[in-house]
Amino acid sequence: MAAPILAAVLIPAVAAAPLESLQIEIWPEYDRPAALVILKGELDGDVGLPAAVSLRIPASSGGPTAVAYATAAKGQLFNLPHDRSDAADFITLRFTVPLRLFHVEFYDRFATGTSERSYRYVWPGDVPVRSLNVVVQEPAGASDISVQPELNDRSTGSDGMQYRSAQLGAVKQGAPLSIEIRYTKADARTSADILALNAPAPDPQAAPATGQRNSSRLFLALGAAALLVAVSGLIYYFRWRRRARPRVGSTGGGAFCAKCGNAAAAGDRFCSKCGAALA
> How do residues 116-131 score in pLDDT, each as one tens digit?
999 999 999 999 999 9
- Interatomic CA distance for residues 17 and 107, integer angstroms: 25
What pLDDT band is residue 152 in, cutting at 50, 70 and 90?
Answer: very high
- Interatomic CA distance for residues 164 and 136, integer angstroms: 5
The reply to whether 26 and 145 lie within a common domain is yes
The reply to whether 252 and 141 lie within a common domain is no
> Would 56 be classed as within a structural domain?
yes
pLDDT digits (tens, 9 = 90+) for 47-94: 999 999 999 999 999 999 999 999 999 899 999 999 999 999 999 999
H-assigned helices in the chain: 191-198, 211-244
H-assigned helices in 93-210: 191-198
The reply to whether 176 and 224 lie within a common domain is no
Q: Tell me phi and psi for residue 192, to 5 degrees.
A: -60, -40
> Would 100 be classed as within a structural domain?
yes
What mean pLDDT, rounded, does the chain reach? 79
Give the residue-averaged pLDDT of 149-171.
96
The reply to whether 218 and 153 lie within a common domain is no
* Residue range of the domain that includes 73: 19-198
The reply to whether 77 and 34 lie within a common domain is yes
> Would 279 be classed as within a structural domain?
no
What pLDDT band is residue 266 in, cutting at 50, 70 and 90?
Answer: low
State the total domains in the chain. Answer: 2
> Would 275 be classed as within a structural domain?
no
Angle value at C-alpha 110, between 125 and 164, nearest 5 degrees: 65
The reply to whether 75 and 111 lie within a common domain is yes
pLDDT digits (tens, 9 = 90+) for 211-227: 333 444 444 444 555 55
**Amino acid 206: pLDDT:** 38
What pLDDT band is residue 196 in, cutting at 50, 70 and 90?
Answer: confident
Highest-scoring range by mean pLDDT, 12-21, 27-36, 191-200, 205-214: 27-36
The enclosing H or E element of 264 equals: strand 263-264
Nearest by Cα to 52 from 13, 88, 86: 13
**Amino acid 256: pLDDT:** 63
The reply to whether 101 and 234 lie within a common domain is no
The reply to whether 224 and 114 lie within a common domain is no
* Final residue in a domain of this structure, among 158, 173, 198: 198
Determine what percent of the chain is predicted with pLDDT higher than 90.
62
> Would 131 be classed as within a structural domain?
yes
**Amino acid 214: pLDDT:** 42
The reply to whether 238 and 168 lie within a common domain is no
CATH number at residue 42: 2.60.40
> Would 3 be classed as within a structural domain?
no
> Would 245 be classed as within a structural domain?
yes
The reply to whether 220 and 189 lie within a common domain is no
- Interatomic CA distance for residues 200 and 217, integer angstroms: 16
**Amino acid 199: pLDDT:** 45
The type of residue at 53 is V
The reply to whether 60 and 178 lie within a common domain is yes
pTM for the predicted model, two decimal places:
0.67
**Amino acid 226: pLDDT:** 54
The reply to whether 151 and 240 lie within a common domain is no
